[in-house]
């Protein structure tokens, strides 16, 4: 069966520090991968998506970047976190006719 792993579950980081959030998918190949962010009191915003290894599309210009070094691995990064980067980050995957599956999320607090 297909599963998606996302870690860590919670993270508290100081302003200006780097960030690396990892997401891996099991049980499928060549999925579309996504990073969403849910800021406090707001809806879900698509940050990045990827249709294949090394292929990243950014939806919103910001302080974050994404990479896909392997078919089932998707990484969200920042060189220097801002307070406004705080939020709940969700990784997801999809394939044609298979719908979306979300990870359990990472709550990031930048202090």
Partner 1 sequence: GNSVTQMEGPVTLSEEAFLTINCTYTATGYPSLFWYVQYPGEGLQLLLKATKADDKGSNKGFEATYRKETTSFHLEKGSVQVSDSAVYFCALTNTGFQKLVFGTGTRLLVSP
Q: List residues binding partner 1 (CB under 8 A).
A: 6, 32, 34, 36, 42-44, 46, 49, 51, 90, 92, 94, 96, 99-100, 102-105
Q: Which is nearer to partner 1, 82 or 98 (CB)?
A: 98
Q: Which is nearer to partner 1, 75 or 91 (CB)?
A: 91
Distance in Å, CB of 100 to partner 1, minimum: 6
Distance in Å, CB of 85 to partner 1, minimum: 19
User: Cβ(28)–Cβ(2) under 8 Å?
Assistant: yes
Distance in Å, CB of 16 to partner 1, minimum: 28
Distance in Å, CB of 91 to partner 1, minimum: 9
The string of DSSP codes covering 15-29 is TT--EEEEEEEES-S
């Amino acid at each position: 069966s297909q599963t998606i792993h996302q870690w860590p579950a919670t993270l508290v980081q100081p302003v200006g520090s780097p960030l690396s959030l990892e997401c891996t998918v099991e049980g499928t190949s060549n999925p579309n991968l996504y990073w969403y962010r849910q800021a406090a009191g707001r809806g879900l915003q698509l940050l990045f998506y990827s249709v294949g290894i090394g292929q990243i599309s950014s939806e919103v210009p910001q302080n974050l970047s994404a990479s896909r070094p392997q078919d089932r691995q998707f990484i969200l990064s920042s060189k220097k976190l801002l307070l406004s980067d705080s939020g709940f980050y969700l990784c997801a995957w999809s394939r044609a006719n298979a719908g979306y599956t979300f990870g359990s999320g990472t709550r990031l607090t930048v202090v």
